[in-house]
Amino acid sequence: MPRITIILGAVLIVLGVIGYIATEFASWTALIPSILGALLVVFGLIGVKRPKIGIHVALVVALLGIAGTLMNVLKIGEVFAGTAERPVAVVLSTITFVLLIVYVVLGVRSFIAARKGRAVTA
């Protein structure tokens, strides 16, 4: 999981920078995926040495990111209808949301597998 966390963090950093450039540097909020990504990279690196702490905190960050992007994700229909006020923000939020959902699912599966592995060896 630490490697997946670091890779996802790097992807989110790039996504945020692309969004910031795409919005012509209009608002720092386009960098929110980058901020989430930087946090994930940090906790992924912590997770290399101490997986239990690093990945648990990374998953909390992911859950907060999911909650934070949900409002824009609900506006995705406006992008397709051409009525969205900030289409780039909605698209970036939706991509971030989906990536974080996949990450949380992978994290939960990892925890379940680790628990089962401990139960078998006990």
Delimit the domains of the chain by residue range: 2-121
Q: What is the mean pLDDT of each run of 10 residues along the chain (122 residues)?
A: 95 94 86 95 95 92 95 87 84 94 94 79 60
Record the tokens describing residue 24, joined without a space: 């012509």
Cα pseudo-dihedral 17, 67, 88, 79, rounded to 10: 160
pTM over 0.85: yes
- How far apart (Å, rounded) are the C-alpha atoms in residues 11 and 66? 16
- How far apart (Å, rounded) are the C-alpha atoms in residues 101 and 84? 23
Burial of 22 (0-12, 13-18, 19+ CB in 10 A): middle
pLDDT value of residue 94: 93
Residue type, 28: W
DSSP 13-47: HHHHHHHHHHTTT--GGGGHHHHHHHHHHHHHHHH
